[in-house]
Structure 1
């Protein structure tokens, strides 16, 4: 290689950093340094607490859209929807709130693959959402209104409520028992519920299903490259694999 085509030590070092930290996957940011840059810094992060997951080296667990307060409310809500039990971890243990955060930061949050031009009409329930607001806007409003409703009913933050009190707040949204002019309470709840289940069972590459525990509870094999070694054998359980593990090879 000629001298002019040799890479500088700085270039080689930068390439190693990108590869080792999982900075990009096919051009998409999945966490790490870029995730921290995309996080809105309008409030003190985690109330001064350290991010133990980041310390452990899981750079996918970095906020890309939520404020710390929004993240904590989402984490509490998803845990009530998908609670921990004797079969395994709940939404909090699975990192579902990180999955939702990452989705809101990307195309899903922007409704990028949907027609979002006027005119807007109130559609039938079977038609799904028909409004002008993007999903990230709906989450911003919905999380704020859950907090407001919690303060109005219990004079406490949603995250400070007991489990049954949190359930009561969520049931009010699910049953459209509160009046909101900006969003549908039941529509927001259904969106939250769907996103929670997606985060519990999606590939860990996307931020949820930590340690593939969601799959393990279902005995789901995950993202296997092939089944050629066992396809002609009797039924057997297969150790789950994530897309992340294939990327490391």
Structure 2
């Protein structure tokens, strides 16, 4: 469960490979270094307490290392916030008329909450619980955070009517989506996860390569929202797949 940063996109059109018979090879380089700061973020849905938990949690679910950014540095909280503020968070595709009772695993999500309500309810319960302890989340070590997240994953807590394992499953799914989805959805900043795994992204055409076999495709990744200067424009109107 636990374990698998942030720089501006500096790849310009001049740095990208030209269409030619021989593909240009680019070295795979890390996108951040230890100690890189995280950009300040204005959230659309999350309040300060909720954002603090989400930021700390995703930083443990996919932590940074000495070479690559983690979920926090890649902007995953921004992705989660946009999803909660949009159609998915509002439950626009959910059946909302009950009956509300536990279902089988094959029946999927069975709670009366929209995803936005579910996150808000669970996070409020977590913060309320932590306000009464002598070891608040803000002071916990990495190991203590991992232990706390495992307790949520195991369903050991009732978060004001939200089973903690249901909340954790959605948090984990959103973290994965935000880390690996196209940056146009608000996460995967600087396409850091794509650089890490060697995924090329949304190139419109591979025509110059279709008759070449056995070569390594090693280009800088490109986003759906990237302009000719290599800048990614996040589009808040584009829905992402829901967890």
Normalising by structure 1, we get a TM-score of 0.70
Off by >6 Å, runs of 4+ in structure 1: none
How many residue pairs get matched?
192
- 1:142 paired with 2:122, answer yes
Conserved? CA contact 1:151–1:158, under 8 Å: no
- 1:89 paired with 2:69, answer yes
Q: Counterparts in 2 of 1:1-249, with a 5 A limit? A: 53=39, 62-152=42-132, 154-233=133-212, 234-246=215-227
Q: Name the structure where helix makes up a greater proportion of residues.
A: 1
Conserved? CA contact 1:204–1:212, under 8 Å: yes
* Separation of aligned partners in 2, 1:64 and 1:247: 29
1:87: Cα distance to partner? 4.3
Conserved? CA contact 1:83–1:89, under 8 Å: yes
1:236: Cα distance to partner? 1.9
1:151: Cα distance to partner? 4.2
* Separation of aligned partners in 2, 1:248 and 1:62: 25
Which 5+ residue runs of structure 2 have no aligned equivalent?
Answer: 1-36, 231-243
Q: Residue by residue, what CA displacement relative to the aligned partner does 1:197-238 show, whole Å, maximum 9, x if unpaired?
A: 000001111111010001111111111111112222233212
- Relative CO higher for 1 or 2, CA cutoff 8 Å, sep ≥ 6? 2
Q: Residue by residue, what CA displacement relative to the aligned partner does 1:153-189 show, whole Å, maximum 9, x if unpaired?
A: x523313211111112111111122234511110100
* Separation of aligned partners in 2, 1:62 and 1:119: 37
CA RMSD of aligned residues (A): 2.2
Normalising by structure 2, we get a TM-score of 0.72
Q: Which has the larger radius of gyration?
A: 1
1:122: Cα distance to partner? 1.6
Equivalence for 1:8: none
Of 116-125 and 76-85, more deviation after overlay is shown by: 116-125
* Separation of aligned partners in 2, 1:113 and 1:175: 28
1:63: Cα distance to partner? 1.2
Of 200-209 and 234-243, more deviation after overlay is shown by: 234-243
